[in-house]
Structure 1
Amino acid sequence: MKDSLKPGVSHRFVYRVPREKTVPFLYPEAPAFQAMPEVFATGYMVGLMEWASVELLKPHLDEGVEGRRVWFKIHANDGVDTIGEGRHERAVVIWNKFNARVAEKAVKQ
């Protein structure tokens, strides 16, 4: 981890929600979801919060660092109101090692 990553660092992530990321599109096979309004689906919002966290981290990572954990406090708004808040924890991993472990697990199933 680079010294530039310090508590309190912030990041602004802007995303225009397409129709396909609204509640009725989350599970098209669920009749209950089809009756709901076309607003940003919570399931997609959680993923977007994770994406924003990844983008914040990118410039602060060194090659080969593994095992560090980073915690985020995330606030999402639609330009008018708060639409979500959350906390997210990420583990910094070396991708080739992580993918090898995932492949091992897949073989065992």
Structure 2
Amino acid sequence: MSSGTPPLGLKHKQSITVTPDLTVPSVSKRFAGFQDMPPVFATAFMVGFVEDTCVAALKPHLAPGQRSVGTHVNVSHSAATPIGMTASCEVELVEVDGRKLKFKVHCTDEKGSIGEGFHERVLIDLERFLARLDGKK
């Protein structure tokens, strides 16, 4: 059983193939301005990919009932990635302050860097979190 405290220096890397559903025009029909944008890996989905990579890194280190939620994103998206190319995300846990976790992030595609920065998450007890959320209704 895990202690619920992830180790400083924890690293994880994931890769995905950019498909049409991960491009800017596919972000949401509610944002009409996106519909005529270039079909490249969307920043919104890159941020989601960063979060998913952090979640995957943490999963083996969390106690039962423990999860993490994103609280801050400071990540550049500096190069476009076309449909069919592989994008990768590598994260490293660089700071642990109680329940607050800070990850260094680097995203690449087959041609080089596409983004980098930091992402912060907070460890939560899922039941308590959902109870507080329910109280907001």
Q: Please confirm whether the aligned pair reaches a TM-score higher than 0.5, indicating the same fold.
A: yes
TM-score norm. by structure 1 comes to 0.82
Larger relative contact order (Cα-Cα within 8 Å, sequence gap ≥ 6): 2
Aligned-pair identity (%) = 40
**CA–CA separation in structure 2 for the residues paired with 1:63 and 1:31:** 41
Of stretches 15-24 and 64-73 in structure 1, the one that deviates more from structure 2 is 64-73
More strand per residue: 1 or 2?
2
Q: Secondary structure at the match of 1:55?
A: helix
**CA–CA separation in structure 2 for the residues paired with 1:3 and 1:93:** 10
Task: Look up the match of 2:9.
Answer: 8
Give unmatched runs, 5+ long, in structure 1.
none
Displacement, 1:10? 1.2
**CA–CA separation in structure 1 for the residues paired with 2:122 and 2:26:** 30
More helix per residue: 1 or 2?
1
Displacement, 1:3? 8.9
Give unmatched runs, 5+ long, in structure 2.
68-97
Does the 8 A contact of 2:4 with 2:66 survive in 1?
Answer: no
Aligned pair count reads 106
Task: Look up the match of 1:97.
Answer: 128
CA RMSD of aligned residues (A): 2.4
Does the 8 A contact of 2:25 with 2:38 survive in 1?
Answer: yes
